[in-house]
Homo-oligomer: A and B are copies of this chain.
Amino acid sequence: MSSTFGTVFRVTTFGESHGRGVGAVVDGCPPRLALAETDIQPQLDRRRPGQSGLSTPREESDKVSILSGVENGLTLGTPIGLFVPNRDQQPGDYAAMSRIPRPSHADWTYQVKYGIRASSGGGRSSARETIGRVAAGAIAEKLLKQHFGVEIVAWVSAVGAVEAPDLAGREITRPDVDAHAVRCPDAEAAQRMEAAIRQAREARDSTGGVITAICRGVPAGWGEPVFDKLEARLAQAMLSIPATKGFEIGSGFAGSRMLGSEHNDPFVMRKGRLGTATNRSGGVQGGISNGEPIVFRVAFKPPATIGKAQATVDFEGHAVELEATGRHDPCVVPRAVPIVEAMAALVLADAALAQCARS
């Protein structure tokens, strides 16, 4: 099921970085949801490279077309086909790399797995593959908002060693996030993050980072024990994003250093129903949402493709020095914000409809 995600709300993506285009098919979206390309385009625009001096200057317009499943502005309940044509293909950029597998990139593993690989760029391992997810995720988000009142916001909480203060308690909005090119809503941290990215670019190097996401308004009861626990599906979703190395929900690794008496979230009455006084659980208990905000963090490694010279070997094993040419992002986390939001939306939409199937 490699390119399909979800059981009830199901997404199948397709497309390489340098073929005709990329896209997705969304099956299981309920009928009669108001939907147009304009619901999807904003998140694609946020994902697009070249939005600021912070990311690669490639111009990708990434205009999405809805191919099916929508008529007169309403979903029909049938599969929604989505497509974004590729442009700006410069295979020449990748000539050197066809002989030399990039360290910590998927060039070599794709070659070994399939006995073939896209001749240029990363093919299916390219960040461009995420376009289909972001487009599908925008549909999931609209469904979640309209039918369930759920809202998802993610932001950059660290770039390299620069960390933003804890913002999970503030009611961060997407405009707050987009107020700074680096997509950290804290102005002071944003400034330092941007400096760190600029520094990496100047050194022809790259830098990693962390994204924090919060999902508000998720009712208690979503998530399917035991293998499709909400946190388990979120973890799969996040680790399926290129360049991710870690996932934490709620207290995360820090929680492993706490005592139970410090970690437990006591129940309280709130607006006539049970809530928790604290949220170290991150909005889930036993794999099921508990009505509190779902909060998680995703670690991204620094991009593998760097201009700085690297001593490595080519496909035949000969020692070479590799200096990637072309335009490459020194830091992907600002652009990865809508990808994290999209994957969270896909997980939640599937969980929401699965719970409907129970009653």
Contacts and interface: CB of A to CB of B under 8 A. Distances in A.
Given A245-B282, A274-B108, A227 B301 contact: no
Tallying the copies of this chain within the complex gives 4
B301 A1 contact: no
A175 interface: no
B116 A77 contact: yes
Interface in A174-230: 200, 203, 205-210, 220-229
A288 interface: yes
Contact of A225 (B2, B75, B206, B262): B2
Contacts of A300: 256
B253 A246 contact: yes
A46 to B, nearest CB: 20
B285 A124 contact: no
Contacts of A288: 106, 109-110, 112-113
A4 B320 CA distance: 46
Contacts of A22: 68
A169 interface: no
Contacts of A264: 103-104, 304, 306, 310
Contact of A28 (B2, B222, B356): B2
Contact of A1 (B10, B70, B106, B310): B10
A226 B119 contact: no
A12 B132 CA distance: 15
7 contacts: A3-B78, A4-B12, A31-B114, A122-B286, A205-B259, A208-B255, A235-B239
Contact of A260 (B65, B106, B258, B304): B304
A37 to B, nearest CB: 12
Contact of A30 (B225, B265, B359): B359
